Chain A
Amino acid sequence: MIVFALRRIAAMVAVLFAISVLTFLLFQVIPNGDPAVRLAGRTATPREIADVRRQWGFDKPVYVQYLRTMEQIMTGQVVSYTQQVNVIEQIGRDLPATISLTVGAGVIWLIGGVILGLAGALLSEGGRLARLADRLLGALAMAGISTPTFLLGDVLLFYLGYRAHLFPLGGYVPLTEDPVGWLTHMILPWLTLAILFTGFYARVLRSTVLDTMREPYVRTARAKGLSERRVLFAHVLRNSLLPIVALWGLDLAAVLGGGALLTETVFNLHGVGQYAAQSIQSLDIPPILVITMLTAFLVVVFSALTDIVHAALDPRVRLR
């Protein structure tokens, strides 16, 4: 276990270093990316720009700039170029919305994916009508996967929010201030994000369930005289869920780290993803850097957690 933790921490340091260097360099080579020009304002004279450049240290060699930025990030002092607010504090303000979105949507898509996937697998083994229903489910899943989030979100907002007045038109209300308001504000974003993943999870689960059903140990379970329900849940589903759990952990990490930027933007949730989207628009390196590193950090931590859960569920897996 200690070896496992050390390995993962080492991996995390390596990943964070690599990803931060890459992101930093990327914005160095992007044309029109000179931050001094934008910081100095539209009407700035070359002299003012030069002042800004010196003041912010943009005249220093790249590695000095990198080290300085990293130091600021680590000490929580990093400031964005455009609005010149503390990035860490800003992300701290945005996180509750993102966490609300991720956890809610994650639970919905996991449950939805498992139910639909299992249903699809069972239907595909059935008669002609059942197989047709499975095809329909498959088509729905594909539709869910391929519908762009901004389109789906906007459609939901327009019909259920604007026309039917069932839901508010975006924005985020903290759970601690108004639980009911929080819920009504979150339902549409949850659905929008979950539909995308549900389709994907349903397809993955369907195929693992079908594979598992052909395993000899499932035949053994029947030969033991177990009921079909027991065979399905205690043997087929339990073993089919193993890959899904691994997938879920990584997806949650990605969404927490701002991966749902489209959903957040459409519903104006002011989450980490939306912040990332705004920062990319304005080529604001510090927030982009911090959010990228946050995502990488979360992915490494969550994949370690998933591995622990996986090892607990599957004795063949060893933590290393």
Chain B
Amino acid sequence: MSAALLAVEGLQVGFDTERGPLRAVDGLSLQVDEGEVVAIVGESGSGKSAAALAIMGLSGREGASVAGSVRLEGEELIGAPQRRLREIRGARIAMVFQDPMSSLNPVRRIGDQIAEQIRAHERLPRAQARERAVASLRRAGIADAERRAHAYPHELSGGLRQRAMIAMALSCSPQLIIADEPTTALDVTIQAQVLSELARLRAEDGTAVLLITHDLGVVAGIADRVVVMYAGQAVEQGSAEQVFADPQHPCTWGLLGSIPRIESERAQRLASIPGAPPSPLALPPGCRFAERCPHAFERCAEPVELLARAAPDGGRDAGGSREGHDDLERAERARVAPGHLDRCVLAPELKRARRLVGGRIGL
């Protein structure tokens, strides 16, 4: 293992519900290196937020059982004593939540809430912690930080609240920030600000970011690597270039096709994913995406592993479409793009042809 900051292996997050046990996350593996931005993308219910909470060691509180391995610079976090996890939370891994309004305590001042986190990790007099809080508000791009520190959450606009959340995450200079849908509740213009703020922090401080979102469009400008999740599993992962230029899994195609673009033809349908995700209580044994996939065939009823299948050339020269998926699959396995994994057995050539809908990638 090289300089893996965070290494997640075979992460399982399960819940006992009234209608039986379910697996919100089913064997997720990913790695975040120092100063890297990794995005987890998926529809709601795909398990991406459950994975984030499990990495923070917070899902036990919410009634989940967690298995697998989460290592921070080699130190195993799953099963670590709460005391140790508390030292890590906020100080080395910090979290930014989706809705800054409900994620900040409404009756306490912004500055106090940040100072509280600083004092939980460092022995500092109150006044000094407050100064640090103001400094980190400033660092998160808040003009007039002094005055904002005195404000209550409801006195700030949505964008400022999210910046305050980011300031809080920054306050102890963490190595990793987990941002769970940090821009979903925000206007597009504010979203752009928050994203450029995250990018700037990564550039200036080398803070790694695990960005969790349902919107692949948000990810392109900022992520180094992308993990696409569906029904608790990673269905595709690779570098941002690989995933956007040569997406292998139909779920990724659908997520890309869902994004409306201003240059697209007005009357054109969005090449989105039809239907709804399967119930996590009754998952099919084969490909979990098959029932929503227009390209599914017999082989999709069998379990599919996450493997490197994509061609190394990034799919730029689309070859002739030959039939006989399994032969091709075997042949392709010899020369595949490193680090570009997916869970679809369709032959790469076929994928290249089928993912184009009206000249763009879609489902």
Chain A residues within CB distance 8 Å of chain B: 215-217, 219-228, 230, 234-235, 238-239, 242, 313-316
For A226, the closest partner residue in chain B by CB is B120
Residue from B82, B86, B121, B152 whose CB has the most chain A CB atoms within 10 Å: B86
A238 close to B107 (CB less than 8 A): yes
* B104 at the A interface (CB under 8 A): yes
Q: Which of B77-119 contact A (CB under 8 A)?
A: 82, 86-91, 94-95, 97, 99, 102-108, 116-117
* Bound form: Cα–Cα A239–B86 in Å: 22
Contact of A220 with B120 in the complex, beta carbons under 8 Å: no
> B107's contact among A219, A225, A242, by CB below 8 Å, is which?
A242
- Contacting residues, chain B, for A242 (C-beta < 8 A): 107
Closest chain-B Cβ to A127's Cβ sits at a distance in Å of 13
Residues in chain A near residue B97, CB distance under 8 A: 216, 219-220, 223
Do A220 and B58 touch across chains, with their CB atoms under 8 A apart?
A: no
> Which B residues are closer than 8 A to A by beta carbons?
56, 58, 61-62, 82, 86-91, 94-95, 97, 99, 102-108, 116-117, 120-121, 152, 154-155, 168
For the A-B complex with A223-B56, A226-B90 known, give 11 more contacts whose Cβ atoms are closer than 8 Å.
Answer: A220-B95, A220-B168, A221-B105, A222-B58, A223-B89, A223-B95, A224-B120, A224-B168, A225-B86, A225-B91, A316-B107
Q: Which residues of A contact B116 (CB under 8 A)?
A: 224, 226, 230, 234
Rounded to whole angstroms, the CA-CA distance of A226 and B118 in the bound complex is: 10
Which of B90, B102, B108 is A224 in contact with, Cβ under 8 Å? Answer: B90
Provide 25 A-B residue pairs closer than 8 Å at the C-beta atoms, listed in order of the A residue. Answer: A216-B99, A217-B103, A217-B104, A217-B105, A217-B106, A220-B95, A220-B103, A220-B168, A224-B90, A224-B168, A225-B87, A225-B89, A225-B90, A225-B117, A227-B86, A228-B82, A234-B116, A235-B105, A238-B107, A239-B107, A314-B107, A315-B152, A316-B106, A316-B152, A316-B154
Interface centre among A225, A226, A230, A238 (most CB of B within 10 A): A225
Set of chain A residues within 8 Å of B88, measured between Cβ atoms: 225
Least CB separation from B154: chain A residue: A316
| Known contacts A222-B61, A224-B117, A230-B120; A217/B90 CB under 8 A | no
The docked-state distance in angstroms from the alpha carbon of A222 to that of B94 is 11
Of B94, B102, B117, B121, which is within 8 A of A217 by CB? B102
Instruction: Given A226-B120, A227-B86, A242-B107, decide whether A219 and B58 contact each other with a Cβ distance below 8 A.
Output: yes
Question: CB-CB < 8 A to A238: which residues of B?
Answer: 107-108
CB distance from B218 to the nearest CB of A (A): 21
Do the beta carbons of A216 and B61 come within 8 Å of each other?
A: no
**Nearest-CB distance from A232 to chain B (Å)?**
12
User: Which of B87, B103, B104 is most buried by chain A, counting CB atoms within 10 A of its CB?
Assistant: B103
Contact B107 A315 (CB under 8 A): yes
A313 to B106 CA separation, bound complex (whole angstroms): 11
Query: Using Cβ atoms and an 8 Å threshold, which residues of chain A touch B56?
Result: 223
Give the 8 A-B residue pairs with the shortest CB-CB distance, closest first. A225-B90, A225-B89, A224-B117, A224-B90, A315-B152, A223-B95, A216-B102, A216-B103
**Measured between alpha carbons, how far is A239 from B281 in the docked complex, in Å?**
36
* Chain B residue at minimum C-beta to C-beta distance from A239: B107
A235–B117 CA distance with the chains assembled, in angstroms: 13
CB of A223 within 8 A of CB of B94, answer yes
Task: State how many angstroms separate the Cβ of A143 from the closest Cβ of chain B.
Answer: 31
| A223: contacting residue among B58, B82, B152, CB under 8 A | B58
User: CA of A225 to CA of B99 in the docked complex: distance in angstroms?
Assistant: 19
* A46 CA to B276 CA, complexed, in Å: 89
Give the chain B neighbours of A220 by CB distance below 8 A.
95, 97, 103-105, 168
Chain A contacts for B82, CB-based, 8 A: 228
* Structural contact, A315 and B154, CB atoms closer than 8 A: yes
Within the complex, the shortest CB–CB distance from B162 to chain A, in Å, comes to 13
Instruction: Determine how close the nearest CB of chain B comes to the CB of A3; give it in whole angstroms.
Output: 21
List chain B residues, Cβ under 8 A from A226: 86, 90, 116-117, 120
A313 CB to nearest B CB, Å: 7
- Docked Cα-Cα span, A219 to B86, in Å, equals 13
Report Cα–Cα, A196/B117, bound state, in Å: 40
Which chain B residue lies CB-closest to A213?
A: B61
Known A-B contacts A225-B120, A226-B116, A227-B120; A219 and B154 likewise in contact (beta carbons under 8 Å)? no
Residues of B within 8 A of A227 (CB): 86, 120
Q: Judge whether A215 and B102 touch: CB under 8 Å.
A: yes
B61 to chain A, nearest CB (A): 6
Q: B151: nearest residue on chain A (CB-CB)?
A: A315
Q: Which residues of B contact A221 (CB under 8 A)?
A: 105
Bound form: Cα–Cα A236–B168 in Å = 19
* Distance, CA A205 to CA B103, complexed state (A): 22
Q: B10 to chain A: closest CB distance in Å?
A: 24
Smallest beta-carbon distance A225→chain B, Å: 3
Query: Whose C-beta in chain A lies nearest to the C-beta of B155?
Result: A315
CB of B110 to closest CB in A, whole Å: 11
User: Chain B contacts of A230 at CB under 8 A?
Assistant: 116, 120
B322 to chain A, nearest CB (A): 51
A315 and B113 alpha carbons, distance in the complex (Å): 15
The answer to whether B107 and A223 have CB atoms under 8 Å apart is: no
The closest CB in chain B to the CB of A227 belongs to B86
Report A-chain residues with C-beta under 8 Å of the C-beta of B117.
224-226
The residue on B at minimum CB distance from A236 is: B105
Report chain A residues within 8 Å CB of B90. Answer: 223-226
The chain B residue sitting closest to A218, CB to CB, is B105
Q: How far is the CB of B234 from chain A (nearest CB, A)?
A: 24
